[in-house]
Structure 1
Amino acid sequence: MTLQTILPVQAAQIKEWAEARSEAAWLTERRLQALELAASLELPKPEKTKLDRWDLSAYGAFKSVAKTASREELPAATKEFIEEGTHNLIVQHNSGVVYTELSEELRAKGVIFTDLETAAREHEVLVKKHLGTAVKTSEHQVSALHYAAWTGGVFLYVPKNVELEVPLQAVFLTDDASATFAPHILVVADANSRVTYVDNYVSTGLDGKVLHNGVVEVIALDGAKVQYATVHQFGKEVTDLSYRRALLSNDADIEWIVGEMNDGDTIADTATSLNGNGTHSDAKIIAIGSGTQKLNFTTRAVHFGKSSESDMFTRAVMREEAQSIINGITKIEHGATKANGQQTEKVLMLSPAARGDANPILLIDEDDVMAGHAASVGKVNPEQVYYLMSRGISKVDAERLIIYGFLAPIIAEIPLELLRTRLQRIVERKLGQ
């Protein structure tokens, strides 16, 4: 069999796309190597989900996009997500980034915030050093195809000892089903730096299926602090495959805040490798499933460093006939003494036909550690409903308050007010209120 009959992307396409956007030669070579590797790799095998039954062929084709000179010219669907007053923004529309803005203040500090394709040409040494180190090309067929076909994306570099007080933001929009949509996000926080990055993924007006095969890599060097917030709200036409990875050096810190608000089938894998001593990872995930969605969310923390700490907190609400698999995996490797790994997974089901499966997993190869987990799957507590009704609140409103209270601890952690407000509206829509 040939690559053309096995894979949804071909070598000739990659060469054509690379030439169309004057891509760096070394990057094109990496793409071709990734495509060749993809032919020999298997699909990922998320817990209790058979990806070979999913249609993962809707990669589309690369389509050139015109740069936008001002925010006023941006697609309307992106404007509602842009925080007022921000001067640090990237917008991707289908296959490419159309708008980039970075304040002079941050430029003067040495911050780099641009699309990844531009960074590969203008900051080759940095990109070469870190691209593909957190999510390996060889991880599985989906990751290899991502490295063959990604477009647009973000490169964020924060220099040593630079602490940023304002968040940087990106918006990713797909509205053309024939266009490739596979951004790659690479964040590099140098020693003792601090940064908050926020993005939104959205679709609108699609007339066919789209596969989002997205990758996020966060590299936090010694003493760096990274806060990463993301909300995915694709429509039913989009199948979302998202792999997020962070690598932490000594005393580094990552905080993940993830809102999984898609209407289509979703696989999301968020993992942190606590390589250094004194590292800390905090992952907060909320998800709402509706209709006939199939959802699989995995959150992982792998401890290598001494005195490393990880917290994972996932809350999911399933309604109608949605089915979800929620996996929490804490792995403490031999030698990671004084490590502490904690996790909690909670699923609330609002319909007899909804399904939720919470799987807490502890893998401990060291004695001198602490680890714990908690998991629950259930319906709205009737005693709580009765209590609120006894205070004059209707049953519908009582259930709504309980659900919002269930999700509120994570929504409150979103670092942008506009995003918090928008997420609340999405929650209301998803719950049919």
Structure 2
Amino acid sequence: MIAFVPAALRLSLTCWLRRSRPLQRKVVGPGAWMPTRMAATVTVEPAGHCCWDEPVRIAVRGLAPHQPVTLRASLRDEKGALFRAHARYRADGGGELDLERAPALGGSFAGLEPMGLIWALEPEKPMRRLLKLDVQTPFAVELEVLEGHEPEPRRVLGRAVHERHFLRPGVRREPVRAGRVRATLFLPPGSGPYPGIMDICGAGGGLQECRASLLAGKGFAVMALAYFNYDDLPKNIKSLHLEYFEEAMNYLLSHPEVKGPGIGLLGHSKGGELCMSMASFLKGITAATIINGSLVNVGGELHYKDETLPPVGVNSHRIKVVKEGLVDIIDILNSPTEGPDQKSVIPVERAECTFLFLVGLDDHNWKSEFYADEASKRLQAHGKEKPQIICYPGAGHLIEPPYFPFCPASLHNLVGSPVIWGGEPRAHAMAQVDAWKQLQTFFHKHLGG
């Protein structure tokens, strides 16, 4: 009967039949394959709402047996900057590829790395750090599977878009503008009360909500506190007053959904240094996690009532030029154990709280391991509890929540030029996963939950 079908319709039927039937595969041997036109399916599990700090299972189905493919991930931040990662793989004998079982053969990473396509994302333009400015919206990660390996992957066989959120369903975001305090409070689902944590960022300043929003999804009431370069707050850190942080702490403790009698502190870099200062001078603090913090006051004077900590001295001659426009500042700060710079040491021995120090052993911002050890010595010399210190070989300064891409270098606000932060990509990524678990365990233990 097909002979009586008009020519144009016969052509249409032929094209439809060709599209509906994949080309036959001819497998020559265990490691050989012949190209096919079969479309591949990229899946991400769990398929529902996923937060940035949660792992997912990425798989590809519909490939030829043992077919070589390249997987590529990309996202654009809120300013339009592009971040990308790729890795080469080979499908199994059934034409499937599961990143939990298949090692990467090279690319942005190698070996068995189920989340490698996320933590290995690199900026298209060097020395750019991935930040989340609006935690109420997700990052959209585009995943693509491409035919072949080197020198250049060929056509796209399949793609999917994977959204990574920063607010777990039910987490509430409350802007705080009370007295002088400028912050955002994140509350878990339900009515509480919950253990309270104050989250203090580093010398980047502003109001950084990312870590606090993710931590609130773990059962904590977390306040992300701004302290400079935001709204009507000071523009720099030349003169900071702990009374501001005390006011913020009292606000958090008085909130009906925050349970006392004390709160936790979480700070990274300059924020970690400020957490040590708060624990040393203020009451009402039960536990503090310090991520790559300093035992000396850095960048400007710190005041509390009639006491002042001067900033530790800086010797710019100790800056090492790595290459044009990029420096290493690991040795820039004066030693706090000798001379007038001893006055800059935070009197951590006064603290009544329990400490957890998370340390990147390849931190090139400053000597975080030395500061953690010195803090431990001072506490124990005054009869205080020995703090827990967890060190991560191969981790640099910017220890963030899990799966945030490794940032080897970027602009340092206080230095005014790009610096190296230290670290090795895979070791740093693994440190972020473990540090996130450790700080949650620490806070649940000492604050309740």
In the superposition, the TM-score normalised over structure 1's length comes to: 0.29
Higher strand share goes to which structure? 1
1 or 2 for the larger relative contact order (CA 8 Å, sep ≥6)? 2
Task: Answer with 1 or 2: which has the greater Rg.
Answer: 2
In the superposition, the TM-score normalised over structure 2's length comes to: 0.29
